[in-house]
Structures are given as C-alpha cells and as structure tokens.
Amino acid sequence: MPYHWSIFKQKNAQKISLADEETHYRIEPSQGKIPGGESQEFEVFFCPLHAEPYFEYADLIVEDIPISSVRHPPEGLKNFAAANT
C-alpha cells in the first residue's frame, strides 16, 4: 500500500493538500509502501525556530485505494475523489 504524509498549517476539511507546506514538523519515513499484513512505525520530529505555539497538521495519504472501499469517508476526501477521477 503506497502512502505519503502531507504536513500543513491550516486545517481545511473541504480541501486535501497533496504538497507539504513549510512547517516545523517532519515525519519519517515521509513516503513509501507498507506490505500487506505488516505495520510501519513513523517518527515525528519538531524543529521550532522560536519558543512559541505551533499549530500544524499532518495527513497520512494512502494511495491507490478506491473511495468506494472507505467506510464513512470525510467530505473533503469525497470531494477530492470526485474532482480527481
């Protein structure tokens, strides 16, 4: 199952971002493939520039899975799938 992480500053349930923004967080591995029946561990890194709160978000994007196989997908995912078929 191929995947990648998308990290961004503004949470918008109606829009799914495929590209990372300049953020203070990093997740490794940031992309790859998870073989069936196996698990994958991820490390989250935080690299702030100053001592202040940083509110940022990360989505794990699982690729090549049809929207019809997802139970109760969020509206943003349904809209994204409809616009990209």
What pLDDT is recorded for position 64? 83
The string of pLDDT tens digits covering residues 14-54 is: 555 555 567 888 999 999 999 988 999 999 999 888 888 88
- Name 36's Cβ contacts closer than 8 Å, sequence gap at least 6: 1
> How far is 16 from 11, CA to CA, in rounded Å?
9
What pLDDT is recorded for position 34? 92
Indicate if the pLDDT at residue 80 is higher than 90.
no
Percent of the chain clearing pLDDT 70 (strictly above): 87
Name the average pLDDT for the chain: 83
- Structural domains counted in the chain: 1
Domain span at residue 28 reads 2-83
> How far is 5 from 30, CA to CA, in rounded Å?
5
Is 43 in a helix, a strand, or coil? Answer: strand
The number of CA neighbours under 13 Å toward the Cβ of 52 is: 5
Q: What is the DSSP string of 46-72?
A: E--SSSS----EEEEEE-S--GGGSSS
Percent of the chain clearing pLDDT 90 (strictly above): 24
What pLDDT is recorded for position 58? 87
